[in-house]
Amino acid sequence: MPTIADLKKGQKAKITHMSSKAIPLKLFEMGCLPGNEVQLVQNTPFKDPLYLNVNDTYLAIRQETAQQIEIEILL
Amino acid sequence: MGKQINVALVGNPNTGKTSVFNQLTGLNQKVGNYPGITVEKKEGTAKLSRVLKAHILDLPGTYSLNATSLDESVVIELLLNKNDKDFPDVIVVVSDIENLKRNLLLFTQIKDLGIPCILAINMADRMERKGISLDVEALETKLQTKIALLSARKNTGFDRLRQLIENYKSLPTQPCVNASEIDPEYFKSLQKTYPNQDLYKLWLVITQDVNFGNLNRNRIQGDGLEPKSNAELKRLQHKETIARYKFINETLRETLTKDINQAKGLRASLDRLLIHKFWGYVIFGAILFLIFQAIYDWSSYPMDLIDALFASLSELTKQNLPTGAFTNLIAEGIIPGIGGIVIFIPQIAFLFLFISILEETGYMSRVVFLMDRIMRRFGLSGKSVVPLISGTACAIPAVMAARNIESWKERLITILVVPFTTCSARLPVYLIIIALVIPDERLFGLFNYQGITLMLLYLLGFITAIGSAWVANKFLKMNSKTYFVVEMPDYKLPMFKNVAFTVIEKTKSFVFGAGKIILAISIVLWVLASYGPGDDFNQAEEIVTTEVQQSGEQLTSQELDTKIASYKLKHSYIGIMGRAIEPAVTPLGYDWKIGIAIISSFAAREVFVGTLATIYSVGSEEEETIKNRMAQEVNPILGGPLFTFASGVSLLLFYAFAMQCMSTLAIVRRETGTWKWAMIQLFGMTLLAYVVALIAFQTLN
């Protein structure tokens, strides 16, 4: 399964699975949760941190967290 | 006086909650602390009608009712405690139009508490420009609440908000999301065990690590109820959040439309530049340079003015009040003491001016973003940048600013190393010593040696902070997950009112917080230097006069007075203490007077210059600058001037590394919850300072 870390700039995807254990509640609260849409807003050096738009919220997370969020790429 | 009701403002960070608070209360506000903790408590009053006044509490910003920090637990503790005197009659949830989706998560949680609740949607003036339209009435029905569209910037919509607050009794109090559907079995048995308690409140108490009044987390879990493991609870919290978002997304799909093409623009073009892999860093560097320029160059003018003012005030007091112990206490103890605090106001004010502008505009999040990768190598987080910058003014707000770092390990390391950054209290010490021992000449006729030295000291502080973070990261074995989430808010023009309030409040709390300690110490020092035990002190005049007569020296009366004064000082309480520690400081190149200044500096570094001023000025009649007095001092053991290049450098290094600030230790204790880390700082940093200063003096001398 691809993860958020595999997104290319501008690409949109739907979050399909996040392991409850590894992902902090805070990320859920920001709208980063299964079922919601995610888009990579801008390329950054080494893709770390990643600049995302999740469910209309702009946020940045680290690569290691992004690798744990599985997605289904939309376009 | 009419009736007064309690209103609480709750909302996500970056929603302009504080602007709404400022608009509602105007200047009728005060900032304090919640009892026992250092979370800022902002409260004010607003007149709603001729008979009704509102006491408005601006609660710390939070994304949800699941507290992960001290600031956030303040919100939930208040909202769960009906007996608190601030318990709200009505809650205003402040959100902003562009982030409504995320803001509504907190709203739906609060709605479940059964307290009357109004949704205030701020930044409504941006709707048209962003291509957003909202069906307010439909949203009100869906959320079972009343909505006020506000613009704090343009001051619109506040009449309706005041009206809604006034009529709070007619607001519906039903929840809009049924939390118990995430595990109906569990919630049913929960309700059965506690038939008189609100179900959602019980759930919150179980999932938080806090107890509320008679509701004890473990007791609820134990009372005939099948307890859930922490992992299970966490899974349920995730499930709850998903359910809430499902409701929110459905609700907004029907009531809010967004024209995507108009929504972008400014953010995209500014971000392309500000977090660019090259220009982003160049711009951040330029802004940092500007900040330091302001703190250390622009503020020198008001600082010189303040310095001169207090010197003449001291002189004036001496001339106009009758001579005696009381006058001396005022002129030599209290006035220089107060002056020592007031002189920091320009620097602190400049720093907070810049920090609050950077935060208001949304740029600070970009800095966090830019720096995260670099800082992580040293065991820090991108969010450590704010504490490290704040640390150049004062470590106390800096340690507190570390609160929003999510990972405990990264936060702890930030707190541990922040005191190495050159705080403004070190500056007066550096300035006077540099002026004494570094020649006022230019390298290649261009760079001033004194300026270079000062810059090197700042660099040294920063490098030591980063370096020790790296060491701490290697040694601290901690199984704390390092995760990092930062919101990238929209760019906004800063609001003058907000910036001004922040600068005034932060400066005030520094002056009164640190001020008390500095003032107390200068009074204690004055007393210790003005009194002494035994004949040596009390009959100093006769002893010295006889000595001089016996040796046949010819002295003017002025020279005689100076001699008496220094003999007196040597036998005062402070002199006795100073000579007791002299063996420890001699290897570093200091005499007992500097020893005293160092000891008193453990309360606060800025006391150093004040201490020397007090020690030297006690008994001296003529006005003389401290610098001249210091230059005249003779090394008691080696002879020659006391302040040489070697002893000066040794002293500079000692102040660069030593942990000399009681207030910082107290705040570290409070923020980490144990004395352990504060003591590690005190002894670790001071030992490092002693060793480095010792090596410096012994090699250079």
Which letter, b or e, does each residue of B274-295 get, where b requires 16 or more Cβ atoms within 10 Å of its Cβ?
A: bbbeeebeebbeebeeebbebb
Clarify whether residues B399 and B533 are in a common domain. no
Find the CB nearest A29 among B64, B267, B369.
B64
pLDDT at B264: 64
Q: How far is A61 from chain B (nearest CA, A)?
A: 5
pLDDT at B38: 66
Burial of B674 (0-12, 13-18, 19+ CB in 10 A): exposed
Segment B334-346 shows an average pLDDT of 78
Q: B406 and A25: CB-CB below 8 Å?
A: no
On the CB side of B18, CA atoms within 13 Å amount to 22
pLDDT at B332: 74
Which pLDDT tens digit goes with each residue over B474-521? 988 776 666 788 999 989 889 888 899 888 888 887 777 667 766 777
The closest of B618, B532, B613, B614 to B576, measured between CA atoms, is B532
Question: Looking at the domain assignment, is residue B366 inside a domain?
Answer: yes
pLDDT at B12: 93
Clarify whether residues B532 and B680 are in a common domain. yes
| Single-letter residue type at B311 | A
Segment B673-686 shows an average pLDDT of 93
Which of A12-16, B92-96, B467-471, B566-570 shows the lowest per-residue confidence on average (mean pLDDT)? B566-570
Clarify whether residues B529 and B569 are in a common domain. yes
Question: Looking at the domain assignment, is residue B527 inside a domain?
Answer: yes
Two tokens at B4? 């007064």
Which of B70-74, B100-104, B419-423 shows the lowest per-residue confidence on average (mean pLDDT)? B70-74
Clarify whether residues B103 and B164 are in a common domain. yes
Clarify whether residues B411 and B357 are in a common domain. yes
Question: Looking at the domain assignment, is residue B509 inside a domain?
Answer: no
Q: Which of residues 31-70 of A touch B (CB under 8 A)?
A: 31, 33-36, 41-42, 44-46, 48-49, 51, 55-62, 64-65
A59 three-class SS: strand
Clarify whether residues B155 and B191 are in a common domain. no
Percentage of residues of chain B with pLDDT beyond 90: 33
pLDDT at B5 over 90: yes
Domain count, chain B: 4
Q: In what order do the strands lie in the sheet with B117-122?
A: B29-33, B40-47, B52-58, B3-11, B90-96, B117-122, B146-149
Q: A57 and B369: CB-CB below 8 Å?
A: no
| Single-letter residue type at A67 | Q
The span from the CA of B206 to the CA of B341, in Å, is 47
pLDDT category at B189 given cuts 50, 70, 90 is: confident
Q: Which residues of B touch A45 (CB under 8 A)?
A: 277, 373
pLDDT at B347: 79
Clarify whether residues B319 and B196 are in a common domain. no
| CATH of region A4-73 | 2.30.30.90
Clarify whether residues B251 and B284 are in a common domain. no
Two tokens at B564? 């008496």
Clarify whether residues B76 and B200 are in a common domain. no
B152 three-class SS: coil
Mark which of B450, B475, B500 sits at the end of a domain: B475
Q: How far is B102 from chain A (nearest CA, A)?
A: 6
Mark which of B234, B263, B292 sits at the end of a domain: B263
pLDDT at B684 over 60: yes
Model ipTM value = 0.94
Q: How far is A37 from chain B (nearest CA, A)?
A: 11
> CATH number for the domain including B129?
3.40.50.300
Greater confidence (B627 vs B654) lies with: B654
pLDDT category at B106 given cuts 50, 70, 90 is: very high
B645 three-class SS: helix
Clarify whether residues B336 and B469 are in a common domain. yes
- How many other C-beta atoms are found inside a 10 Å radius of the C-beta of residue B623? 11
pLDDT at B565: 76
Domain ranges of chain A: 4-73
pLDDT category at B623 given cuts 50, 70, 90 is: very low
Which pLDDT tens digit goes with each residue over B199-248? 888 888 888 765 555 555 555 655 556 677 888 888 888 899 999 999 99
Clarify whether residues B540 and B466 are in a common domain. no
Whose tokens are 């009194």? That residue is B531
pLDDT at B622: 46
Question: Looking at the domain assignment, is residue B510 inside a domain?
Answer: no
pLDDT category at B619 given cuts 50, 70, 90 is: very low
Q: Which domain holds residue B138?
A: 3-170
Two tokens at B598? 């160092």
The string of DSSP letters for B223-264 reads SSS----HHHHHHHHHHHHHHHHHHHHHHHHHHEEE-HHHH-
Q: B245 and A45: CB-CB below 8 Å?
A: no
Clarify whether residues B256 and B152 are in a common domain. no
Segment B300-314 shows an average pLDDT of 85
- How many other C-beta atoms are found inside a 10 Å radius of the C-beta of residue B514? 23
B640 three-class SS: coil
B interface residues, A as partner, C-beta within 8 Å: 63-64, 66, 68, 99, 101-102, 105, 231, 234-235, 237-238, 241-242, 245-246, 249, 267-268, 271-272, 275, 277, 365, 368-369, 372-373, 376, 382, 406, 481-490
The span from the CA of B381 to the CA of B625, in Å, is 45
Q: B11 phi and psi, to 5 degrees? A: 180, 165
Greater confidence (B684 vs B153) lies with: B684
